[in-house]
Amino acid sequence: MVGVCFYFQVHQPCRLRNYRVFDIGHNHQYFDEEKNKTIMQKVAKKCYLPANALLHRLIKENNGSFKVSFSITGIFLEQCAHYVPEVLESFRQLAATGCVEFLGETYYHSLAYLYARDEFNEQVQQHHELMQQTFGKTPVIFRNTELIYNNELAHHVEKMGYQGVLAEGADHILGWKSPNFLYRAKTTNALKLLLKNYRLSDDIAFRFSSRDWSEWPLTAPKFSQWLSAINGNGHIVNLFMDYETLGEHQWEETGIFAFLEHLPHEILKHSDNFFLLPSEVIHQFEPVGELDIHNPISWADIERDVSAWLGNTMQQAAIRELYTLEAPIKASKNPELLKDWRRLQTSDHFYYMCTKWFADGDVHKYFNPYDSPYEAYITFMNIIADLKKRIT
């Protein structure tokens, strides 16, 4: 018996415009609205609309046996409402099927947990309320930005009322253990830990269209056979990936939609297979053991740590400067200032400053509006300088 748990991250940042040093003190428009609109419309056409329509049809055709979960950031939904309201409506239609779960996270897809715990709490609450208002759903499972996780985070989100949390099934924390079981976080009383099966997830997310891959082409029957082979050696296979895998990272011409269209039928051919939502996983299975994870892990790059956002001195200086402004900005009681500061917390702004341009270079360049990480840093720090002037 093996359950399959699909989880998709849905997110687009508010990209910054080319903010020059001459703009400091004169122009408080930090975000490139035209670029953000263009990207949202392009990805909506290639991914969000066709993928949502396909998932909706698959749920109906399988009479509720096919299920998926999402974490959708607040700034993504804001941009949906402004630029592509039809995408927002299609997510509402998915929510109405009863076969879709929405997870909790930070509203701004931020790294606040690592730097500002009160701010983290406020953003999680803001996102919690957004899920209730937009979809009528109350998240019970948490997913921190980019699956950043450690013991301390598990303890904290359990105190906030969450029953489960998602994390990367990284080799260096699992050792001989399998990601295909449910675990318990060591520092919690009962919080369940769902781990990404990164090999099977990345077969779809990264290797699907690679003709250099020995398993190309990946077909639904072949993938379902790999899943069925886990029967007897695991309870659950967690397939976690960016939603933009469908149609954007893997273009329609690669056959990704045809693959997904046939996958539920192939998986459900095996009578021991079934789909589960994260909240169903934590009730159906008992943890097989504890995991003790001190240093933060994530799903990014080959290191599976936080170096994609905080690995160099530019990134560290930029985020340190940003969070030193928390107290004066909140004391100002200026809602526009607070909103701009929070939009600047989105992890993508620091990801663009990453200087790891080798094995992970292609991933870091995707959707990156800058020619270099240094340009990203200069733009960001110019904006921080203007933000400081607005406080005083």
Which of these is catalytic: 146, 168, 244, 248? 146
**Phi and psi at residue 379, to the nearest 5°:** -60, -45
Determine contact, residues 265/160, Cβ cutoff 8 Å.
no
Neighbouring residues of 368: CB distance < 8 A, sequence distance ≥ 6: 352, 376
Cα separation, 76 vs 61, in Å, equals: 29
Helix residue ranges per DSSP H, the chain: 33-43, 49-61, 74-83, 85-96, 112-115, 117-135, 151-159, 171-174, 198-205, 220-228, 256-269, 278-284, 307-310, 313-323, 326-332, 335-343, 348-351, 361-365, 373-391
Active site residue 158: no
Angle between helices 117-135 and 74-83 (to 10 degrees): 40
Determine contact, residues 73/10, Cβ cutoff 8 Å.
yes
Beta bridge partners of 193: 165, 183
Cα separation, 178 vs 283, in Å, equals: 19
Cα separation, 374 vs 359, in Å, equals: 19
User: Which of these, 83, 80, 130, lies nearest to 103 by C-alpha position?
Assistant: 130
**Phi and psi at residue 142, to the nearest 5°:** -110, 145
Cα separation, 374 vs 371, in Å, equals: 8
Q: Which two tokens stand for residue 12?
A: 């687009």
Determine contact, residues 115/84, Cβ cutoff 8 Å.
no
User: Which of these, 74, 85, 78, 14, lies nearest to 48 by C-alpha position?
Assistant: 85
User: Which of these, 284, 282, 280, lies nearest to 192 by C-alpha position?
Assistant: 282
Q: Which two tokens stand for residue 278?
A: 């994260």
- Could you list the active site residues? 146
